[in-house]
Structures are given as C-alpha cells and as structure tokens.
C-alpha cells in the first residue's frame, strides 16, 4: 500500500503523482526525439557500408545490425514532432 502525503486539512496531496506523470511524459518525449533523430542519421553509415561493399560476414552483420537499429528507431520516433508555437 502506497503512502500518500496529506495536507493540514487531511486531504491527500496529489502533487507527487502529478510530478511523476510529468516526469514519465518528458521521458517518453525524449525517447521519441532520440528515436526520430537516430532514424534520420542511421542511413548515412548504412549507405557508406553498402557503398564500400559487403564482402565479409562481419560487414554483413554490421549492415544488418544497423538496419535493425534503424527500424527500431523508426518505431520509437514515429510520433515525434516539433511544435512551432
């Protein structure tokens, strides 16, 4: 059972709950932003590796890993947008 802070009049203080929701929301937004920018930048090393040729097993693993990371970053950053308010 979680303990709740109470104010002087005996009512529950929900400010800690609000702060935790705000923290979770900002974490989700930062993960979305990082995912978006990683998805934007990963095609550069992928193209460089492909342009050099994939002739060894380790080069193939590197390209496969980068493509997988790019797909994951695309998924994580799919809802990211910057509001120009």
Dump pLDDT digits (tens) for 25-83: 667 678 888 899 999 999 999 999 999 999 999 999 999 999 999 999 999 998 888 76
Contact predicate 73/46, CB 8 Å: no
Dump pLDDT digits (tens) for 15-25: 777 677 666 66
Q: Report helix, strand and coil shares of the chain as percent, to nearest 5.
A: 65, 5, 30
Which tokens hold the place of 7? 């104010």
- What is this structure's pTM? 0.63
Indicate whether 6 pLDDT > 90: no
């Amino acid at each position: 059972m979680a303990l709740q802070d109470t104010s002087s009049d005996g009512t529950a203080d929900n400010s800690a709950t609000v702060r935790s929701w705000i923290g979770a929301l900002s974490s989700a937004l930062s993960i979305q932003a990082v995912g978006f920018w990683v998805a934007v930048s990963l095609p550069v090393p992928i193209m460089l590796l492909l342009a050099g040729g994939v002739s060894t097993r380790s080069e193939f693993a590197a390209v496969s890993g980068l493509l997988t990371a790019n797909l994951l970053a695309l998924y994580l950053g799919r809802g990211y947008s910057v509001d120009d308010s």
